Amino acid sequence: MEAKETEDNNSEGVITTVKNSLGWIPQDLTSLILLKLPAKSLVEFTCVSKTWYSIIRSIMFINTFMSMSISRPRLLLTYKRNENNGNELIFFSLPHISQESNDPSSVVSSHEMTISKTSPGDYIIHSPSVRGFICCSHQHQYMVCNPTTRQVIKLPKDHGFDHGTMKCYMHLGYDPSNDKYKVLRMVTQPWTNFVYEHIVYTL
């Protein structure tokens, strides 16, 4: 980075202006810097420039960031809070404690996200976490949440079956062959185990 000084003479004195000429940063170095940031910051930084957006949204960057995150696993905790004016599903995360560590007081939880609803009814979590994603529902509204980025994807509602006599099962999975997350929804009759229908959603 070069610093250039220019002097402007006027009646009141001399004004010195310093101009910084910052050369371009190589894209591979930019990627290495961005990979060290938390996911929430990366979501915000996609708005900084078109270059940063293309880097952060690239398949190579996402896969590298995911591999680094998997190598540093965290425990995901959920807490359901029911209030008179609505319900909340709160996500926390904790770092894994190694067996060699004898200081559990050093473990600090991190609040990831909160989903709130003003309508009555409990939240239901349908399947274990898959690479950080959670499938849950509230009042027959099914959704996939990413607590790390605080993103929520609502799945289409289906009013074609009777929720009073039918049972709906949701299973979240990851297809590595095409790098896609998929949700399998099965509607069954509880007393017969007859599968009324099944639908696969691709995220």
Residue 85, pLDDT score: 65
- Domain count across the chain: 2
Q: What is the pLDDT of residue 63?
A: 85
Give the residue numbers spanning the domain of 178: 122-203
End-of-domain residue from the set 72, 104, 130: 72
Residue 107 counted as domain residue = no
Q: Is position 117 within any domain?
A: no
203 and 139 in a single domain? The answer is: yes
Q: What is the pLDDT of residue 122?
A: 77
Going by the DSSP 8-state scheme, the letter that residue 156 receives in this structure is P
pLDDT value of residue 21: 43
pLDDT for 105? 58
- Whether 112 maps to a domain, the answer reads no
Q: What is the pLDDT of residue 18?
A: 45
The predicted model scores a pTM of 0.65
Rounded-to-integer distance, Cα 91 and Cα 3, Å:
47
Query: Which amino acid would we find at residue 83?
Result: E
Which distant-in-sequence residues (6+ apart) come within 8 Å of 74 by Cβ? 93, 94, 95, 96
In a domain, 114, yes or no: no
Average pLDDT per block of 10 residues along the chain, 203 residues long? 48 51 72 88 88 89 84 78 76 70 63 76 82 86 86 80 72 88 85 78 89
Residue with tokens 């006027």: 10
